[in-house]
Amino acid sequence: MNPDSNAIDICFATLGKKGRVALIPFVTAGDPDVKTSLKVCEVLIENGADLIEIGFPYSDPIADGPVIQASYTRALAKNIKSSQIWDLAKAIKSLDRHRNRPVPLVGMVSYSLIHRQGVEEFLNHANDAGFSGFIVPDLPWDESEGLEKAMQTRGLKLIQLVAPTTPLERAATIARASGGFLYCVSISGITGARKDIPPALIERLKALKCRSSTPLCVGFGISQPDQAEMLKGHCDGIIVGSALVKQFVRFSNEPVERVLADIGLFCSSMRKALDT
């Protein structure tokens, strides 16, 4: 990958010129199986997803609520392997040939998984598979320099997170250092669908916009079109996780095509809200 042509940067630059906000759905790799994960990603892209966040199942996830934890557990119960996730990413990226817009892939992965496989080996596989960046929630920014440098040599972006409790000036420093975009956690707590957007979040996004040019993407609890519409003038992207992943349990007892259709409708509704 050319370090100067990272797909995440290109995506946000293109959307910015059009005044559009990125829709970033989260998908657990291997829930209910890798083949269905690919179908889910196809449906999401067809219905307006701009980037796809791929969750690497892990037995002790950081900050993930019960919906995503359960999804990880289902995937691990079927012995999902990292090699299967690399193959899934390659299959998703192969779809780019049939579209006029590439869709970047971002991995959500525990540093424990990277360390266990070895940083160099993990990143080489990631590069070959077509990932453009990673979110590593259990690696503090202050301790991420080594991984970031290894990623930079491969043109990959290390995406940082900030919480509502992160002091503003520290959050701004992390934003300027973050690759690709900054993951802005909307609430204190774990992931999960919620009804309201905290008013303080809007003010915080405004303050960060004044202090950094890094794209700001909001996650944790974004689950409804009206929330997306409220946020669209204040951030560069929204990340939708639990509201989508909770549909995956239905694959065990409903026709796959019916569940995929509902996932497509949900994604489309979020896309329309952002484009209204």
In this prediction, residue 190 carries a pLDDT of 43
Spatial separation of the C-alpha atoms in residues 222 and 192, rounded to whole Å: 8
In this prediction, residue 192 carries a pLDDT of 41
Least confident of 93-102, 136-145, 160-169, 170-179: 93-102
Position 251 pLDDT exceeds 90? yes
Position 94 pLDDT exceeds 70? yes
% of the chain surpassing 70 pLDDT: 93
Among candidate residues 9, 31, 50, 64, the one labeled active-site is: 64
Is 64 marked active-site?
A: yes
In this prediction, residue 191 carries a pLDDT of 46
Torsion angle of C-alpha atoms 132, 134, 44, 254, degrees rounded to 10: 140
- Pick 7-275's CATH classification: 3.20.20.70, 1.10.287.110, 3.40.50.800, 3.30.2350.10: 3.20.20.70
Beta bridge partners of 135: 108, 159
| pTM to 2 decimal places | 0.93
21 DSSP 8-state letter: P
In this prediction, residue 194 carries a pLDDT of 46
% of the chain surpassing 90 pLDDT: 83
**Length of the chain, please?**
276
Least confident of 41-50, 64-73, 202-211, 224-233: 64-73
Short-list 45, 132, 127, 33, CA closest to 86: 127
CA-based Rg of the chain, rounded to a whole angstrom? Answer: 17
Higher-pLDDT residue of 197 and 263 is 263
Note the maximum CA span of the chain. 50
In this prediction, residue 15 carries a pLDDT of 96
In this prediction, residue 188 carries a pLDDT of 60
Position 4 pLDDT exceeds 80? no
Using pLDDT thresholds of 50, 70 and 90, give the confidence band for residue 141: very high
For residues 48 and 83, is the Cβ–Cβ distance under 8 A? no
pLDDT per residue over 213-243, tens digit each? 999 999 988 989 999 999 988 999 999 999 9
Question: CA angle, corner 225, sides to 219 and 231, nearest 5?
Answer: 50
Position 44 pLDDT exceeds 50? yes
Residue 172 token pair: 């701004």
Among candidate residues 53, 121, 142, 226, the one labeled active-site is: 53
pLDDT per residue over 155-207, tens digit each? 999 999 999 999 999 999 999 999 999 999 987 644 444 456 778 899 999 99
Is 53 marked active-site?
A: yes
Higher-pLDDT residue of 60 and 167 is 167
pLDDT average, residue stretch 86-111 = 91
